[in-house]
Amino acid sequence: MTIESALLPVEDLVAAVDSFLAASPAARAWDVETAFDWAAADAGRLSEGQRSAVQFVTLIEDHLPGYFDVYQRSFPVDDTVDLPTFIHNRELHHFTVRWALEEDTHSRALARYQEASGMADRSALRGELAVEGQKSFELPYTHPVQYFAYALVQEKATQMYYHQLRDVVDDPVLGAVLTRLSRDEARHFSFMADVVTRYLRTQGDDAVEPIREVIAGFRMPLADTLRGYWRWALRIADVADYDHTAAYDHLIKVIDRAVDARTDRVDELADFVAQCRTLG
């Protein structure tokens, strides 16, 4: 099955995009330069582990160009696709450009915090981020629901970590940054959950195996390219509870709400996700 042949009906996608944009009015937007009192940022109030956590999530967020490029290549808006596919992808583009802008803002905010708080020299940090940013990022999926299922888990896991890290840090400036990031990630998760729900409702069992494949092979961004990723991830888990499988509980809730008449395959998917959560 090709991505084009399994796309969500365009009216369903439009409804999801419209809902996201309605929840993201310009009045809620924030600006890196003016939203925080950068002069008061003080990394001296952080533990070594908390500083490491900030460095880690900055690397993850800064990989946005590679992450965004996956969606651009998978849902192209050019003459390589037929007109109905272009219409679908153009509607999705309304979301992805807003999503990319917000994620890029997260990257800039975290890098700005490192600079303003005394954690890093701006030029040196730029070089460090570039080393990882140049590395290729791929999501080798064949069904469109997989991109949204992957992002559903990734966005929820990130949102939960920002929320939990905020609760343990002693620098109010960093706390304010993490609050903003967590709120944005919660909206991104809601969009992905909406789209996955619509896939399950419109495609039923046909969407089950693709979602199962995502969970079976799930890796957070940079997990396969960042040197020492797993050791670093374990370290920051000691700072604030970091466990991406905690987001699986939210995927199970999406599955539970998605279909009125449960089939054996849908039940098996929910059981499989729950088992992966237990094993994680």
Runs of H (alpha helix) within the chain: 10-22, 48-62, 64-74, 83-117, 122-133, 144-166, 172-203, 208-216, 229-237, 248-258, 264-279
Does position 2 have pLDDT exceeding 70, yes or no? no
Task: Give me the CATH topology for the region 4-25+33-279.
Answer: Ribonucleotide Reductase, subunit A (1.10.620)
Q: Decide which of 155 and 2 is more confident.
A: 155
Q: pLDDT band at 70, cuts 50/70/90? A: very high
pLDDT band for position 86 (cuts 50, 70, 90): very high
In whole angstroms, give the CA distance from residue 155 to residue 161.
10
Domain ranges of the chain: 4-25+33-279
Q: Amino acid identity of 225? A: T
Q: What percent of the chain has pLDDT over 70?
A: 97
Q: Quick one: pLDDT at residue 48?
A: 94
Joined together, the tokens standing for residue 120 give: 């890093």
Q: Are 125 and 115 a contacting pair, CB within 8 Å? A: yes
Instruction: Tell me the mean pLDDT in the region 97-106.
Output: 95
**113 compared with 138, residue with greater pLDDT:** 113
Contact yes or no for 36/111 (Cβ under 8 A): no
Per-residue pLDDT, 79: 96
**In the predicted structure, residue 279 carries a pLDDT above the cut 60:** no
Residue 104 has pLDDT above 90, yes or no: yes
Task: Specify whether the CB–CB gap between 12 and 202 falls below 8 A.
Answer: yes
